[in-house]
Chains A and B, each alone.
Chain A
Amino acid sequence: MQLVLEKRAERSTTIALVSPLIAIGLTLITMSILFAILGKNPISALGVYFIDPLTDSYSLQEIAVKATPLVMIAIGLSFCYLANAWNIGAEGQFLIGAVCGSWLAVKTHGTDAGYWVLPAMLLLGAIGGALYALIPAICKVRFGASEILTSLMLVYVADLLLDYLVRGPWRDPKGFNFPTTAEFDPVATVPILIEGGRLHLGAVITLLVVVAGAVLLGKTIKGFEIRVVGAAPRAARFGGFNSNQLILLTFAISGALAGMAGIIEVAGPVGHLQPGISPGYGFTAIIVAFLGRLNPVGILIAGLFLALTFIGGEQAQIAMKIPLDVTKVFQGILLFYVLACDSLILYRFRLISSSPKVSSGAA
């Protein structure tokens, strides 16, 4: 008997839905082994990671807060990936969006500016992120530079720019020399949804982005163009769709969403601009996008799940002294399994009996 990988006639919708679950299952098994090696009880470790955060309202809110930027960034990334444009630099676009929006908050700090400040900040964040994302896109279209490398490298540029600003020109004079801007004014802060909680308006905006993303992809000709360019570039050209234009468009959209997520994070949960505003949201969002099947609703679910790993990881560190980096290991293993399981959508395993064994004496 022999196990072969066989191409399916048509992609399997069932597997497309089930594959992320298989991937999660395999990840949990691998993690259990890892916990056992670390000398922790796998069952209680997984419990702390995945069950405990779901049992109190503080953690539940915290999951939604963490999922907000993840989902918003991942929706944008999914457009890029569907169009075969590989934006790896959402982290940088997130930071630049935060910087651009914060500029207005810093400039209006202490003035009696009205309620227009926050919407204007969000707009600036989106524009900043989009323009920053267009740098690798233009290099790709104009010079053929690999967008994977350029977008990734620009993450570090953004990181250093933010660092410079909060240590230099934008530093809070009353901030005891800490590298941070002054706390944003109330009109420059994202409102809280539940009194006393942490859940903020950004979660609502993210839900609107999910709906808009689903409509754009499924119901509009632009969404169709994005999908065709990625799935069959030559057919897309025959259809009259310009792939370069779509690379620019998808990078701009994903940059705008990452930038907006950045400024919402700064003007919301953080409250001021400082280094380390992102625990790698821009990179984790790549996993969210793929785990969610590059589908807006899938991304919403995947974003909540990945947010759970952040919260669970923090609790496991406190409760079981498991290093926080294990969360990153977990996310990496998960992406690996998701991509591996995806081959089952187009292929299937089949057990076949090997060709009849005959003695070669006949020759």
Chain B
Amino acid sequence: MSDPTPFRLDAGATPLLQTIGLTKRYGNFLANDAVDIDIWPQQIHALLGENGAGKSTLVKTIYGLIQPSDGEMRWQGEKMVLSGPSEARARGIGMVFQHFSLFDNLTVAENVALGLDGKESFKDMSARLERVSNQYGLPLDPRREVWQLSVGERQRIEIVRALMQNPKFLILDEPTAVLTPQEADQLFIVLERLKAEGRAILYISHKLEEVKRLCDTATILRGGKKVSTCNPKAETAASLARMMVGTEIKEVKAAAGRETTVPRLVVNDLNLEPDDPHGVRLKHISLELKGGEILGIAGVAGNGQDELFAALSGERLAQDPGTVIIDGIAAGHLSITQRRKLGAAFVPEERLGHGTAPRMKLSENALLTGHAASGMVHRGFVKLAAMLSTVDRATETFDVRKAKRDPEAASLSGGNLQKFIVGREILRDPAVLVVSQPTWGVDAGAAAVIRQALLDLAARGAAVLVTSQDLDELAEITDRIAVMFHGHLSEPLSTAQATREKLGLLMGGSSLEDREAPHAVSA
């Protein structure tokens, strides 16, 4: 087995990979509709599109996970038919998935060994792993167990695993979604280097600024069709967004002269043990959120955001009632239903299965959180009319698109379901809204509606707490931003002062004082 060595290819006439009229049909639905795309060596090619535009289907087809219904693929000018990912890997196509496929209780080397074809000894493989990872500036200790590693380190495993097969073509699915800005910068250096070695990279992302900075070519998909192939450096983020969405995105506007009033949500020195062994312990969390204010919580996923949501919502109870105070009333010991009666509302990250029961109707999902205080229950009996009226009002106010009046939650698209969930809570006119990843995986149009709704709610005097991994989103709607790291919550910064650099340091676990002090050690 050889190390990945730079190779040369006549980058002349034929592209490395070419799809011609590639089509994937599911029933009557066209996930990919005659997509033509050319991938050249020594290029970073961006694949842009909203959720459901067909990006995943396209890359899964190229990686051999899905068989196309029509059209063909050419590899170095010759027709290619893949019956599975191992054939794709054999040709030199590698892929790093957005969701890692790693075993938490195995070591780095064991995880990598599982993904390789296994002709070399485990010892040789470990040595090669260390060599490859150092060569690309992706340091990894092969003997560490995965559960001890940060998300960024886990991603390194996936990238190194792909690189060990010396791919000519590497597909990365939203690699920076889970990284701090600094970690993302390091990743870009690696990608530039891979490009310089003559490899081709297909880079899927939502983050347009990132694409403009990194990529040479961009292909934009919308509704399964290719909209255009362009040079992202010559485009603006707005023009790229317009091509992705197809229409102009409404700009989100904060109401002028929003005033903060009294504290409506206070957390005092909240400590909480996790209820599962790989969970995060919340340590000394304190915050104060006034009416009319939006506080953002940034941080890499898995640093205690889920645990904080559970503690604030009352899905998990605190020992001391005074740790969570809603509108002046100690609520740490109160159930989620009792907290809702105090005027709090919650929107969890996971839409299906947490925020809604997927196989139940919208009216029943309105009842799910509305039974506490919306006149939907009278002496133990449910009132269907009140439930349906909530569905209708949410539909109207937030432009929820659905096939019939009261469909099952699972039949709505992500964006429309999220609009319904946020709408369901906002229509109750909450005093405090705690919302987690409000626009995760939601199309740009729906995201704008949701962000505007949060701003409007704050303008009406509510306190809004937003947890998000999208720093642009936080910058757009929040007044202050705090960062979660290893179960700690930093002091909030005013959004105006919260630069990406500062937030990135906090997300990586450094404190700002250390960095600014003259005796700070350089990393």
Bound-state Cα–Cα, A224 to B377, Å:
11
B93 to chain A, nearest CB (A): 13
Bound-state Cα–Cα, A239 to B371, Å:
8
Q: How would residues 396 to 426 of chain B score, 1 for a CB under 8 Å from any chain A CB and 0 otherwise?
A: 0000000000011011000000000000000
Bound-state Cα–Cα, A99 to B381, Å:
35
Q: Is B348 an interface residue (CB 8 A)?
A: yes
Interface residue from B369, B380, B382, B408 paired with A238 (Cβ < 8 Å): B369
- B79–A220 contact, CB under 8 A? no
Q: How would residues 331 to 363 of chain A score, 1 for a CB under 8 Å from any chain B CB and 0 otherwise?
A: 000000000000000000010000110101011
Collect the chain B residues with CB atoms within 8 Å of residue A240's CB.
Answer: 314, 335-337, 340, 371-372
B349 to chain A, nearest CB (A): 11
B25 to chain A, nearest CB (A): 9
In the complex formed, the residue of A with least CB distance to B87 is A363
- B81–A362 contact, CB under 8 A? yes
Q: Is B355 an interface residue (CB 8 A)?
A: yes
The segment from A5-13, A30-38, A65-73 that touches chain B is A5-13
- B355–A220 contact, CB under 8 A? no
Collect the chain B residues with CB atoms within 8 Å of residue A239's CB.
Answer: 336, 368-369, 371
Q: Is A222 an interface residue (CB 8 A)?
A: yes
Bound-state Cα–Cα, A224 to B354, Å:
16
Collect the chain B residues with CB atoms within 8 Å of residue A158's CB.
Answer: none
In the complex formed, the residue of A with least CB distance to B74 is A362
Collect the chain B residues with CB atoms within 8 Å of residue A363's CB.
Answer: 78, 80-81
- B340–A221 contact, CB under 8 A? no
Q: Is A187 an interface residue (CB 8 A)?
A: no
Q: Is B244 an interface residue (CB 8 A)?
A: no
- A360–B81 contact, CB under 8 A? yes
- B27–A6 contact, CB under 8 A? yes
Collect the chain A residues with CB atoms within 8 Å of residue B382's CB.
Answer: 219-221, 224
Collect the chain B residues with CB atoms within 8 Å of residue A237's CB.
Answer: 315, 336
Q: Is B148 an interface residue (CB 8 A)?
A: no
Majority-rule SS of A interface residues: helix
User: Which chain A residues in 218-266 approach chain B with CB under 8 Å?
Assistant: 219-222, 224, 227-228, 231-232, 234-240
Collect the chain B residues with CB atoms within 8 Å of residue A11's CB.
Answer: 359, 408
Bound-state Cα–Cα, A227 to B360, Å:
9
- B377–A362 contact, CB under 8 A? no
Bound-state Cα–Cα, A10 to B359, Å:
8
- B68–A355 contact, CB under 8 A? yes
Collect the chain B residues with CB atoms within 8 Å of residue A232's CB.
Answer: 353, 356-360
Bound-state Cα–Cα, A227 to B354, Å:
15
Collect the chain B residues with CB atoms within 8 Å of residue A219's CB.
Answer: 381-382
A35 to chain B, nearest CB (A): 39
Bound-state Cα–Cα, A237 to B356, Å:
11
Interface residue from A222, A235, A355, A362 paired with B357 (Cβ < 8 Å): A235
Bound-state Cα–Cα, A240 to B27, Å:
39
- Pick the most buried of B337, B357, B371: most chain A CB atoms within 10 A of its CB: B357
Collect the chain A residues with CB atoms within 8 Å of residue B381's CB.
Answer: 219-221
Bound-state Cα–Cα, A228 to B370, Å:
14
A227 to chain B, nearest CB (A): 7
In the complex formed, the residue of B with least CB distance to A9 is B411
Collect the chain A residues with CB atoms within 8 Å of residue B78's CB.
Answer: 362-363
Interface residue from B79, B355, B371 paired with A358 (Cβ < 8 Å): B79
Interface residue from B69, B354, B371 paired with A235 (Cβ < 8 Å): B354
Q: Is B295 an interface residue (CB 8 A)?
A: no
In the complex formed, the residue of B with least CB distance to A353 is B69
- A231–B81 contact, CB under 8 A? no
In the complex formed, the residue of A with least CB distance to B314 is A240
Interface residue from A10, A228, A236 paired with B411 (Cβ < 8 Å): A10
- A231–B360 contact, CB under 8 A? yes
Collect the chain B residues with CB atoms within 8 Å of residue A224's CB.
Answer: 364, 367, 371, 382
A319 to chain B, nearest CB (A): 46
11 extra interface residue pairs, beta carbon distance < 8 Å, beyond A238-B313, A238-B368 = A10-B411, A11-B408, A220-B381, A220-B382, A224-B371, A231-B359, A232-B358, A234-B350, A240-B314, A355-B67, A358-B79
Residues of B at the A interface (CB closer than 8 Å) are: 26-27, 67-70, 78-81, 313-315, 335-337, 340, 346, 348, 350, 353-360, 364, 367-369, 371-372, 377, 380-382, 407-408, 410-411
Q: List 9 A-B contacts (CB under 8 A).
A: A11-B408, A231-B359, A232-B356, A235-B357, A238-B315, A238-B354, A238-B369, A356-B70, A363-B78
The list of the 5 closest CB pairs from A to B, nearest first, reads A240-B337, A232-B357, A362-B79, A355-B67, A239-B368
